[in-house]
Amino acid sequence: MSTKHFFADAPSLVAQHLKALVAANPSLGLIEDDGVVYNSSHKPTNVSIISGGGSGHEPAWSGLVGDNLLAAAVNGPIFGSPSAKQVLAGIDSVPSDKGVILVITNYTGDKLHFGLACAKANAKFASKNVPFAVLAATDDVALGRKRTGMVGRRGLAGNVIVLKVLGTAAGSGASFDQCVAIGSAVNANMVTVGTSLDHCHVPGRQNHETLPDDVCVLGMGIHNEPGLRKLSPIPSIQDLLTEMLKYLVDPTDEERAYVKFDEGDEVVLLINNFGGLSTLETSAITYQTMVALEKEWNITPSRVFSGIFESSLNAPGFSVTLCNMTKVASDLSVDITSVMDYLDAPTTAPHWPRPYGTGVKVTPRKTQANGLPKTNDVCERDFIIDPAKLDRMIRTGCERAIASEPNLTKWDMLMGDGDCGDGVRSVSLNIIKGLDNDLKGSGSVLKALDVVSKSVDDMGGTLGAIFGILIAALETAVVRRINSGDKLTESVWGDCAKEALDCLKFHSGARIGDRTVMDVLIPFCETLYSEKSLERAVEAAQNGAHSTWGMIPRFGRATYVTVAGDQSDGIPPDPGAWAVFEMVKGLLEGMA
């Protein structure tokens, strides 16, 4: 793994990449503040296909924006989901009279943020009868049915095939329901497995796990996850591919036989370079895969795609995807030719193989506000408390969270992608900046919540979505109490916290014992509600955070990490849960 980079500041890379992409492809437009790249020639008479996710996977997804592919792509921070606010900006950039389909790769943060955006868009456009849907790509087979039972399979590079077929169907005038059916059928008949010689390196990040020289990982994901299992010594490429193809094709594997392949089926092969392999080596891997497919499984792909489609920064690895287009056509009750025509159709997307350029200059449209009401727009009254105490409580919570960043990053590197610490530190610094600029000398509770809400809006990843839903629901509950003429007491705070928690539970299935942030949020909110005491609620939060030590994850991305039962003592606490404990502990200290 190379740890040397020309850029030490990872966040600046995303913005610069998007500006360069749009400059080189004048048919694309950019909403810079929201990280949205859109097709300026998109027609409102077509269904809008929108995708996106964390950056670091280029050319996915902005490089796939163009006619007969994506209408827009929404880009979050490196390995962090874009916020619901960003997704809504993407929806507004490519309006459709027929409907909008949001295609995601089935990671928790994406599911929450895109799901929340979908719910808000449904409400916003209800009077116009414009339908919205979220379609999750779930092509990974490495972890099997038992390991992915609660959260579902990961989405890997196979999602680009879904996007291409779906994008051309939309561009050809297919209806919303037809597009949903087409995307679902392609996803249901696709399988992917990955491998890598090492993890990738995120510019500017200090702590990274590396693999020994004689080890490779089978079942590798695209976010620095540890993978399914380590192989040592590294097998020959022929032996490695033999094992990978068994995961994809073997009908006797009860854990992974998701798609059936019969003789004569038209099959698409996609070899995806994670970003750190040479073109020469990627092509050789592609050839060896074709040889193994024909020799061992009597499969001759009718289409072969090879290159970088969905990277993991500079990870030296690759994935193999097979999509049975014959089964897709059968599921849709259409002729195979029509499905293959969708795949083969030319596109203006700059990073799809053999792109067709338009050469047309287009003036990018300016972003428009999403029209959602702000708290202060709907409530003229307020809760007012001592300004110094209010500032001290929020500031101390942020400072404790910032101080915990090294541990959060270290723990997240072991069980996730390592971005939790950076995300918590960044949002905490933004909140402090808001205190200094927008809340100085004010004891307004609504202004304080607005400062926090605005900072959280720019926070990607699962934790950002959790915080966003919780704060939005808390604001609503507080406004309701103000309008009812209630006085601000710990009892009222407890009632508001319970309402916010109930809203969050509606959007997330995680509960106590799943090793997530909910192991702290649930006991904190419920104790504040039942005992009307911040001190007792913080004690409950502390117990919840400590309970995640050694807890085997049952929800979120950490479930993809292999942990034997006798190794649970080595599991660190959940970093998101610990971050929230540090924050509420700071609230208590600041109040004292």
- C-alpha distance from residue 214 to each of 193, 217, 235 (Å): 21, 11, 9
Task: Report which of 243, 247, 213, 217 is spatially closest to residue 229, judged by C-alpha positions.
Answer: 217
CB atoms < 10 A from the CB of 359, how many? 7
CA distance 21 to 568: 45
42 is in an annotated binding site: no
Task: Report which of 21, 75, 30, 18 is spatially closest to residue 363, judged by C-alpha positions.
Answer: 30
CA distance 121 to 318: 36
CA distance 435 to 390: 10
CA distance 518 to 545: 10
On the 0-12 / 13-18 / 19+ scale of CB atoms within 10 A, 65 is buried
CA distance 48 to 382: 41
User: 470-492 b/e with 16+ CB inside 10 Å = b?
Assistant: bbbbbbebbbebbeeeeebeeeb
- C-beta separation of 218 from 229 below 8 A: yes
57 is in an annotated binding site: yes
CA distance 372 to 61: 27
Residue 223 annotated among the catalytic residues of the structure: yes
Q: What are phi and psi of 360, to 5 degrees?
A: -90, 130
> 223, 351, 507, 546: which one is catalytic?
223
Q: What amino acid is encoded at 66 in this protein? A: G
Sign of CA dihedral 112, 116, 122, 125: negative
Sign of CA dihedral 460, 466, 467, 469: positive
DSSP structure string for 324-344? EHHHHHHHHTS-HHHHHHHHH
110 is in an annotated binding site: yes
Catalytic residues: 223
Query: Residues annotated in the binding site for substrate, as ranges?
Result: 54-57, 110
